[in-house]
Amino acid sequence: MGLNTDNEPRPAIPAAKNPLLDELLYRCFARWSLWRYFDRVWLQSHGPLPHPRTGPFIVYLNHSSWWDGYLMYVIHRVVLRGRFDAHLLMEEKQLRRYRFFRWSGAFSVNRDDPEDAWRSQAYAAALLRGGQRPRLLFIFPQGRIVPNDRRPLVTYPGIARIVAQVGDVNLCPVALRYELLGRQFPEAFIRIGPYHRAADPSDVEGTLADITRRLTESCDALREDVLALRYERFQPLLRGRRGIDELFDGFLSLLPGRSHPRGT
């Protein structure tokens, strides 16, 4: 839910968390869509996963696809088991179009309005500092959808300004990637961690440079593992529906003298 005191800074569109409607969004939109349109979702983790015992977290992700928001749901609910009170910093014009994401903890930011951006950052910092349950904030620091392999990876300073206001917060990079790899449906890949802390939270430029470097390295490492087909470095997280190719291969494997194709 949003902040309770009227004198606290608030973004143009604050969060309006609703557990029941949040569950509905996950089941009916994110989970169902991933099952329908993807072959598998794979996970690769480095270091311990974020845990409530270690305090609040900012999870920062690259932003290359419309599907990133759905994978964010999966990270929160499946990977992190819903143990955090999670929120999402979302571009205002997008949140105005899809206001129902407020039920999942989304709140707005308008980077073109410095005053509004400051209010959103202060609101995010207050969320991370407060609450009875440990808080987690998802941020796409690129601010917009950018082709996955475009370099240099450009990030906005809002995330570092939030760190400067919170001070005591963990930071966790997440790389996302989507590929068609010999199946009818594409596969999604998640690389999470290792998490870290800012060397000097008050150093906005230094924190942003470190976040940008870590996110770039995570995206590059994920790309190399995916393109080299190093499936042994991943664990299957979700399974989608079988494509025509797999159904047909399964039928062929039942015929006398035919073996089941490897990997199906």
Q: 6-57 pLDDT, tens per residue?
A: 578 999 999 999 999 999 999 999 999 999 999 999 999 999 999 999 999 9
Q: What is the mean pLDDT of residues 59-86?
A: 97
Please report which confidence band the pLDDT of residue 5 belongs to, taking 50, 70 and 90 as the band edges.
very low
Residue predicted with more confidence, 7 or 240: 240
Q: Is 263 among the domain residues?
A: no
At 71, which amino acid appears?
L
pTM beyond 0.75: the answer is yes
Q: Is 247 among the domain residues?
A: yes
For residue 152, the Cα-to-chain-centroid distance in whole angstroms is 20
DSSP SS3 for 173: strand
Per-residue model confidence (pLDDT) at position 30: 95
Q: Is 2 among the domain residues?
A: no
Give CA–CA dist 210/207, Å, rounded.
5
Per mean pLDDT, which range of 35-39, 232-236, 252-256 is the poorest?
252-256
Please report which confidence band the pLDDT of residue 133 belongs to, taking 50, 70 and 90 as the band edges.
confident
Q: Domain with 226 in it: what CATH number?
A: 3.40.1130.10
Q: Domain total for the chain?
A: 1
Please report which confidence band the pLDDT of residue 250 belongs to, taking 50, 70 and 90 as the band edges.
low
Q: Give per-residue pLDDT as tens, 107-123.
A: 999 999 999 999 999 99
Place of tokens 């290792």: 194
- pLDDT of residue 2 exceeding 60, the answer is no
**Which residues have C-beta within 8 Å of that of residue 87, sequence separation ≥ 6?**
15, 17, 105, 106, 107, 124, 127, 135, 136, 137, 138
Q: Is 127 among the domain residues?
A: yes
Q: Is 184 among the domain residues?
A: yes
Q: Is 5 among the domain residues?
A: no
Domain residues for the domain of 204 are 19-253
Q: Is 4 among the domain residues?
A: no
Residue predicted with more confidence, 241 or 6: 241
User: In the chain, how long is the greatest CA-to-CA distance?
Assistant: 75
- For CA atoms 123, 126, 132, 136, the dihedral sign is positive
Q: Give per-residue pLDDT as tens, 147-200.
A: 999 999 999 999 999 999 999 999 999 999 999 998 889 999 999 999 999 999
Q: Tokens for 253?
A: 């494997």
Q: Is 77 among the domain residues?
A: yes
Q: What is the mean pLDDT of residues 76-82?
A: 97
Q: From edge to edge, which strands make up the β-sheet containing 235-239? A: 106-109, 85-91, 135-139, 57-61, 170-179, 187-192, 40-45, 235-239
